[in-house]
A and B are shown apart, each in its own frame.
Chain A
Amino acid sequence: MKIGYPATLTYYSLFPLWKIFFEKLGHEVIKSPITSKNILESGVKFTVTDACIPIKLMHGHAASLNDKVDVIFIPRMVSFFKNETFCPKFLGLPEMVQYSVEGIPRILAPKIELKKGIWQIYQVLLRIGKQLGSNNLQLSSAITAAYTALYKYNSLLNKGYFPAQAMAILEGKNSTQRVSKERAFFDLAVLGYPYQVYDNYITVNMLEILQKMGAYIWTCEMIPNNILNKYRNVLPKELFWYYSNLVIRSTYYYLREKQVDGIIHVSAFGCGPDAIVDKLMELEAKAHKIPFLTLTIDEHTGEAGIMTRLEAFVDMLRIRRGIR
């Protein structure tokens, strides 16, 4: 069976797991191409106007797979941990796509509702495997392989590779080296949800631009889980959303332990959770006297606008550091 995987949202966190799992069970995994103008435009066409850009992109990515696959895989991400869910749009995503995109094939939408972390996902894998008609023997080897892939992927991310590079390495390709630490002038935390920070099309190559300007980039994914967990109780009330908690905890880590020179928060126009996250980050950065920039991204984001803001921000960081 040909399984389509829209290359956005959970793609950056979980794709290696799902890819290896389905391939080991003898299915073909076809991921959608990287975000392009076409994908964005079809996404904007199908989605309700006030949805945020990641959701519009999701619709676009799903639509781009329309004629190429038998089923489209859109897991219903409910929770990894107890008392923590994903953004409500993730919860209703399968239905949103199903009823909005014309000519969409069948959607495979397993419900992922875990209580103790991502490693519990084998329960879901078993269920899907059975649904797809695999036997226990195939399943156990597929699950082991999938776990190994995810573990390798995560450790590559923790070492400082970006998702695209890490995935290339997993596939055995030579990956382009990122700017080495010695050549960078300053440390910059670029925080935000992975599906925005790493999507080079909607951020108009922000990461590359920053690296050229001499920044060493730190992201949420580079912090190992056990360190992040130390920051569980920094707020009087934990946020409800998995990715938002990731961003908030990373903010505290980079402010308190890592002492970066500046923080850029990449946020989507109209992002619900980010309205809260951004304000908290702003107040916290202010308290630590660290420069903070919010980059809001929407379907009209242009390179000139982003460049101007990044240049101004980086100039300020350089002046603060005394680098000319």
Chain B
Amino acid sequence: MKISFPYMGVSHIAFKDFIERLGHEPLVPPAPSKKTLSYGVQYSPEFACIPFKVLMGTYVEVLEKGAEMIISSGGHGPCRAGLYGLIHEKVLKDAGYNFEMIIFDAPLRNLKDFIAKVSRIIKPNKIGWYKFIQELKISWAKLRALDQLELHSHEIRPYETKKGQTTSFFNKGLAMIDEAKTLKAIEEAKYEGIKLLNSVAQDKTRNPLKVGIIGEIYVVIEPFMNFDLQVTLGEMGVKTHRSIYITQWTQDNAISNKGEVDVIACAPPYLNQKVGGHGIISVGETVIYAKGGYDGVIQLAPFTCIPEIVAKSIIPQITRDHGIPVLSLTIDEQTAKAGVLTRLEAFIDLMHYQRMLKGGKPGEVLLRS
């Protein structure tokens, strides 16, 4: 069976591997592009958020290529993402596509449903549950390795002296992880990848601006959606940090990668109620970044994203209280790179100026063209 799935960041490397392991033919979706977006916009409700439209476009692209099954994730609200699968399926079937859609909700909320869905995938190839779990472990390790490598690349990039070197080494690292087939090989590939990244020519005397990135998971993780924000900023000499990675998010929907610091606990008094999606996380993280001495925060939100609108209207108060500048970028199909770049440059200038006021050296990090 030809199985496809949503495209998000570099995660397709692990998903492809997993579907292969289960004895199906993976159909890796093309990276989102203008074409994906125009398909998506054509079939989606006008006010659906951009992740919905991109997924819709991706599904159309893979269905055109002959996908027979699409696997996606569900959710339990109140964010709309939990209903995406339902609408995608209804709309695409109404448009005349014939396929099967399997939407995974959190296993512990409805175990019976989860088991039935997994069986639907593994039964045809006579794969037992034991084997399924073993394979899942390997693919999970791969997903983790990918996340760790990406995290490391963002640490290195602001210091690189040859623009683009980090990215090219990072891509080499991805290829190595892609090829690794066993747990041991994945671990080695990750180690090699990190070593490779460390060998990037760096200027450690720099003291780059530090920016935290918050917002909705899809626009934060998928470079096509945020115009490769982290790489762009990294190459401008700005160190970025984001706490949303697929593995961490899946593992624990609430705890940041700072370990014991519970993001949600940091949100009050600004927000005392979970509002679905990443709303309260965005508020809590802004507080954490403010207290952690970051120079600024960038919020990425899809247009009409409800939880992020809640966060967006509360964050100015955090700025007033803690003095941390926050740039909110709202992303939809009309957003263009030039506009985003201009705003980023202005924001960087602002942060430089603020550092200067606090007694730092002006132009400590020189922007390179």
Contact = CB atoms under 8 A, between A and B. Distances in A.
Contacts of A239: 83
B145 to A, nearest CB: 34
B79 interface: yes
B80 interface: yes
Given A237-B83, A276-B80, A96 B276 contact: no
21 contacts: A50-B330, A51-B313, A85-B77, A87-B78, A91-B78, A92-B279, A92-B307, A92-B311, A92-B314, A95-B271, A235-B86, A237-B82, A237-B86, A269-B47, A270-B304, A271-B304, A272-B80, A275-B48, A276-B48, A279-B90, A286-B94
Contacts, number: 122
A50 B330 CA distance: 9
B80 A275 contact: yes
Contacts of A273: 80, 306
Contacts of A78: 273
Given A76-B273, A88-B78, A91-B275, A275 B310 contact: no
A279 B270 CA distance: 34
B363 interface: no
A110 to B, nearest CB: 12
**A interface, over-half SS:** mixed
Nearest to B271: A95
Given A92-B310, A95-B271, A240-B77, A274 B47 contact: yes
Interface in A50-65: 50-51, 55
Determine which residue in B47, B77, B82, B274 has the highest number of CB atoms from chain A within 10 A of its CB, and name it.
B47
B317 interface: yes
Interface string B68-88: 000000101111101100110
Interface of A: 47-48, 50-51, 55, 76, 78, 83, 85-89, 91-92, 95-96, 99-100, 111, 235-237, 239-241, 269-276, 278-280, 283, 286, 296
Interface in B274-291: 274-277, 279
A241 B87 contact: no
A88 B310 contact: yes
A85 B307 CA distance: 13
A89 B87 contact: no
Interface of B: 45-49, 52, 74, 76-80, 82-83, 86-87, 90-91, 94, 270-277, 279, 301, 303-307, 309-314, 316-317, 330
A235 B82 CA distance: 14
Contact of B47 (A86, A236, A270): A270
Given A92-B273, A92-B275, A270-B304, A280 B87 contact: yes
Q: Which 9 A-B pairs have the closest CB atoms?
A: A240-B77, A92-B310, A99-B317, A272-B306, A275-B47, A88-B275, A88-B306, A275-B45, A275-B48
Given A91-B276, A95-B272, A111-B273, A272 B310 contact: no
Determine which residue in B86, B301, B305 has the highest number of CB atoms from chain A within 10 A of its CB, and name it.
B86
A48 B91 contact: no
A171 B61 CA distance: 59
Contacts of A95: 270-273, 310, 314
Contacts of B94: 283, 286
Given A48-B309, A237-B86, A96 B314 contact: yes
Contacts of B274: 91
Nearest to B268: A95
A276 B83 CA distance: 8
Contacts of B87: 276, 279-280
Given A92-B275, A286-B94, 9 more contacts: A85-B77, A89-B310, A95-B271, A95-B310, A235-B86, A240-B78, A272-B306, A275-B45, A276-B45
Contacts of A47: 313
A112 B59 CA distance: 39
Contacts of B310: 88-89, 91-92, 95-96
B189 to A, nearest CB: 39
A278 B90 CA distance: 13
